[in-house]
Amino acid sequence: MLIVQKYGGSSLKSANHLKNVARKVQRTVEQGHQVVVVVSAMGDNTDGLLDLAEDLAQTPSARELDQLLSTGETQSSALMAMTLEQAGIPAKSFSGRQAGILTSYDYGKARIEQVDPKELRNALAVGITPVVAGFQGVTRAGDVATLGRGGSDLTAIAIANALGADRCEIYSDVAGVYTADPRIIPSATPLDVLNYDEMLELASQGAQVLQTQAVEFAKGQQVPIYARSTFNDEPGTVIHQGESIEKPAVTAIALNRHIAKIGLLGVPDAPGVAALIFGELAQSGINVELIIQAMSHNQLNDIAFTIEEQDVKRAEPIVEDCLRKLGGSSVAVDTHVAKVSAIGSGMVGRPGVAARVFKALSSGDINIQMIGTSEIKISCIIDRQDAERAMTLIHEEFGLGQSAEMIED
């Protein structure tokens, strides 16, 4: 088979970690398979580079920031190639440009527009294992552009699609996708199978297993994903097209602590108000998630919405400007909230799921501030200090954890 294997930063954070990955790749090659390796930056390398840039420049150029941040993956690919060579596996490192990855001009969150895998095919044809720097590509102008947090997942899936690979394996420090974050809920259990839609909701609602854009790409191109652990041989989780078998109402619980709630109070209840607010935010590239508009009172409304916490500083002046234009009363910003989400394709056409989520939160005296739903998701905005307890209560309500006997074993 032709297999693409992607290894995350936690799998590469030291020389011993690199040697461990090399042994996994070596075993796969010795089984007769061709392998393309995609690597992230080592450990917290990207965060360190970002902190350094912010120390030197208050608002660094997006182009220069991408040029800088891409070096973390470039280092990993060269070091991984050296490690494989030392283990007797012919290998060659490739930057995103050398791997033929063409991107849009959206620095920091570029989209992959095209992959020309010619050089990767040439290497494979002569028995060389390519090691590709993830998270990056090149624009038509020749500038480096990065693919956003977790972008190495997207690199791996796009390369697997371009090469027509038999498998795309995503390795991290956890054995696949769990019913909840096992660091928060020790009784959380690994899932054997997920469909693309469930994985998309989990990724977008805060589960840090796969990048959302990567799952969208995999769904669009029908690339099956195998999420596995670098540190054991467990089969992990397979993510592919939906199954026809009946599934439980809720498959997994996701938690996102990195959100904020913004409210515009006392704005006119008139056409065009929401269009102005959310149009201005969209023009600045700020993604809005949940939105609530209160019932009109004296021809005035309150509008509240959630965004990523990292976008608050950019959003505040925009929202204040909208308030002035509209003649509203005030803006309220709350950065002490979290979002807990119950996700599962089994809830389609099954009444009572939302009621059970709300009952679980009520049993813990947890107040719900906002609610958002889709066919396969129920999300609640709550106080951040209640986040882990809320996750545990919903997880228990739907019986997603291991039994006491299994935990003891």
253-397 and 2-173 share a CATH fold: no
> b/e string for 167-180 if b means 16 or more Cβ within 10 A?
bbbbbbebbbbbbb
The mean pLDDT value for 345-350 works out to 84
Q: Given strand 136-138, what is the order of strands in its sheet?
A: 112-115, 101-103, 136-138, 144-146
In CATH terms, the fold of domain 253-397 is VC0802-like (3.30.2130)
Give pLDDT, residue 406: 33
Q: How many Å apart are CA 380 and CA 373, to the nearest integer?
A: 9
Q: Are 59 and 177 in contact (CB under 8 A)?
A: no
- In tens, the pLDDT along 74-111 reads 999 999 999 999 999 999 999 999 999 999 999 998 99
Q: How many Å apart are CA 38 and CA 185, to the nearest integer?
A: 30
Cα–Cα distance list, 319 to 234, 283, 371 (Å): 48, 13, 22
- In tens, the pLDDT along 239-289 reads 998 664 567 889 999 999 999 999 999 999 999 999 999 999 999 889 999
Q: How many Å apart are CA 125 and CA 113, to the nearest integer?
A: 25
Q: How many Å apart are CA 330 and CA 263, to the nearest integer?
A: 8
Q: How many Å apart are CA 213 and CA 103, to the nearest integer?
A: 13
Retrieve residue 119's tokens: 């050089």
Helix (H) or strand (E) holding 397: helix 387-397
Q: Is 191 exposed, middle or buried (0-12, 13-18, 19+ CB in 10 A)?
A: buried
Which single residue is written with the structure tokens 């439980």? 248
- In tens, the pLDDT along 12-57 reads 999 999 999 999 999 999 999 999 999 999 988 888 998 999 899 8
Cα–Cα distance list, 124 to 79, 119, 364 (Å): 19, 9, 56
The mean pLDDT value for 383-401 works out to 94
Retrieve residue 124's tokens: 């494979």
3-state secondary structure of 211: coil
- In tens, the pLDDT along 192-245 reads 999 999 998 888 887 777 888 999 999 999 999 999 999 998 889 999 986 645
Please work out, in degrees rounded to the nearest 5, the angle formed at the alpha carbon of residue 349 by the alpha carbons of 347 and 350.
55
Q: How many Å apart are CA 13 and CA 193, to the nearest integer?
A: 29
Question: Can you point out the beta strands (E) in 51-166?
Answer: 91-94, 101-103, 112-115, 129-133, 136-138, 144-146
Which CATH code for domain 2-173?
Answer: 3.40.1160.10
- In tens, the pLDDT along 279-321 reads 999 998 899 999 998 877 888 999 999 999 989 999 999 999 9
Q: Where are the domains of the chain?
A: 2-173, 253-397
Retrieve residue 127's tokens: 């028995």
Q: How many Å apart are CA 49 and CA 176, to the nearest integer?
A: 28
Q: How many Å apart are CA 149 and CA 152, to the nearest integer?
A: 8
Q: How many Å apart are CA 387 and CA 395, to the nearest integer?
A: 12
Q: How many Å apart are CA 262 and CA 369, to the nearest integer?
A: 12
Q: Are 130 and 99 in contact (CB under 8 A)?
A: yes
3-state secondary structure of 352: coil
Give pLDDT, residue 409: 30
Q: What residues are paired with 146 via a beta bridge?
A: 136
Q: How many Å apart are CA 184 and CA 302, to the nearest integer?
A: 35
Whether the pLDDT of residue 407 is over 60: the answer is no
Q: How many Å apart are CA 252 and CA 400, to the nearest integer?
A: 7
Whether the pLDDT of residue 134 is over 80: the answer is yes
